Amino acid sequence: MRNLKKNDLKAKNLKTPDLKAKNLTAQTLKACPICGGTMQYFAPEAVNICPYCYFKSLDEPLKEGRASHDIKVTPPKFFSKYIQNVESHYETTIQENLEPSYDIGLTNLKLITSDFMLPFQKDINSFFKARYASLERGGFLILSVPVEGIFFKAPPLTGQINILRSKNIMFLLERNGFKLVRRSMPFGWIVYLIAQKI
């Protein structure tokens, strides 16, 4: 098993888990919902970290952090034109915002926009499967997601349980039947994506 990057351990001040410790049993370890690898559990912080794709899952929602509805979601100008182009062609639209739900309850939608929803999902794959089921073939899914990178980190959000990287989202899209149409440049803590159901 490939170890975590030193920077990740240093940034969180984490230590490699002791599998023989009483408070860490085999039941504590779980599979990564993104790549399927065995996640490493760090007891003091109650966080599960995948050593392969670096996805992080918290045992309990964050109680302290920024309120997600206070963050202004504004795509870069060069990316906004792609979003406007997609939105201008479709009338059947669902705008989701900050509600950690799976089932939309509608079908044959042409466009779904989801802002800042992935950090709050207990089952990320179910989130994508529900949106796949709600879209018609060729329909679009527009996402804005706070991400963690090598040189930047998204601010913690109240109620957050997932910490993602850009490549995590790409993998989730491909696994759940979407193809990436356009994405913003990976130089900020918010990534914007346009995906299409295939």
**Tens digits of residue pLDDT in 34-84:** 999 999 998 877 899 999 999 999 999 988 877 766 666 666 666 776 777
Q: Which residue has the tokens 């850009």?
A: 166
Q: Which two tokens stand for residue 96?
A: 């989701």
Domain boundaries, the chain: 1-59, 68-197
- By mean pLDDT, which of 37-51, 89-103, 121-135, 153-167 is the weakest? 89-103
Statement: residue 189 has pLDDT above 60: yes
Query: Nearest to residue 144, comparing CAs of 101, 98, 100?
Result: 98
Q: Which fold has domain 68-197?
A: Rossmann fold (3.40.50)
The alpha carbon of residue 34 and the mean position of all alpha carbons in its chain are separated, in whole angstroms, by 10
pLDDT recorded at residue 103 = 67
pLDDT recorded at residue 176 = 94
